[in-house]
Amino acid sequence: MEATSNESPWGLAGRRVVLTGALGEIGQVIAAAFRSAGAHVLLTDLPDASEAAEAVTASGFTQHEYAACDIASADDVRALFDRAWEVFGGPADIVCVHAGVVGSHPTVDYPVEAFDELMAVNLRGSFLVASEAARRWLAVEAAGILIFTTSWVQDVPWPEIGPYSASKAAVRSLMRTFARELAPRGIRSNAVAPGIVGVGMARRQWDSDPAYRSRAQRAIPLGRLQTPESVADAVLFLASPLSAYMTGATLLVDGGASLYPMDE
C-alpha cells in the first residue's frame, strides 16, 4: 500500500512506535510502513549502534531513531524503554514485539542448547518486552497497544521446527493473557500470524534447503510466497483505530497455508 502521512488511511500520524527486530527483513518493511503512515518509530535490534548504522540510514532513519537491545536481557529491555521515553518525551503508544529466531532440526534430535536459545528470544524476549511496555503504560494510565508477531505454524506441526512452533503458540497464549489482564486498563494486545514470507527466515531456508522448498511450494493455497508488505499491513491495522474493538485476537495472514496438510 502506498500512503503518505497526509493521506494515510491508518490514523497513525504522530503515534510513537517501538519495533523490535526492526533490522530484520520483515521488520524493515514494517518500519517503513509506519513511517509512511506518519508514525515516529524507535527501531531496535541486536547489533550495537555502530554496527547498525548503515542499515538504519539505508532504511531512511537516523541513528537517533535506533537503540540496540537484546530482548532476552531484562536489563537491555529496561534500558530500551528508558531510551524510548527519552526519544518520545513520554511512553510509546504502540509496541511491536516482532523479533524472533528459528532453528531447524528434527524435534527428537533438537539440541537442548538450541532449544533454550530459541525460547530465550522468542518466548522470554517477547514476555520481557511486553511486560516492560505494559508497566510503563500502567504507571501513567496510558492506553497502549501491544502487537506480537507469531506465525501460522503456531497451530501446525511443520517439520523440523517444533520448538519454533511451540514458542509461537506460547507467545500467542501470552498475548491473550496480556489482553485479558490489561483490557480494563484500556490496553489492547493482539498478534499477527504470517505465513511463508518471501524474505527473512523462510526465504533463507527456501534458498538453502531443497526439501523445505519443495514442501513450501505445495503448502500455500494462494500459490505464491507472502510479501512482507502484507505483514506490515496487518500490523498497521492492529495499531490503528480500525481495530479499536479487537483485543486477544490473532490476525492470520498466511495465504491459506494453515488450511490443509501440506505433505499430501
Ligand X SMILES: NC(=O)c1ccc[n+]([C@@H]2O[C@H](COP(=O)([O-])OP(=O)(O)OC[C@H]3O[C@@H](n4cnc5c(N)ncnc54)[C@H](O)[C@@H]3O)[C@@H](O)[C@H]2O)c1
Footprint on this chain of ligand X (rule: CB under 6 A): 20-21, 23-27, 45-46, 69-72, 98-101, 121, 125, 149, 151, 194, 196-197, 200-202
Which residues contact residue 157 at a Cβ distance below 8 angstroms, ignoring those fewer than 6 apart? 165
Report DSSP state, residue 156.
S
Query: Which CB sits closer to ligand X, 7 or 113?
Result: 113
Interior CA angle at 231 toward 126 and 219, to 5°?
A: 100
**Grid coordinates belonging to 136:** 510503563
Q: How far is the CB of 152 from ligand X (least distance, A)?
A: 7
Annotated active-site positions, please?
Answer: 164
* Chain-centre distance for alpha carbon 236: 12
Nearer to ligand X, 46 or 87 (CB): 46
Which residue number, 137 or 206, has a Cβ lying nearer to ligand X?
206
**The one-letter amino acid at 170:** A
Q: Could you give the angle at the alpha carbon of 180 between the alpha carbons of 179 and 186, nearest 5°?
A: 65
CB of 206 to ligand X, least distance (A): 9
CB of 184 to ligand X, least distance (A): 28
Residue 12 or 161 with smaller CB distance to ligand X: 161
| CB of 186 vs ligand X, minimal distance in Å | 26
Work out whether strand 16-20 and strand 40-45 pair parallel, antiparallel, or are unpaired: parallel
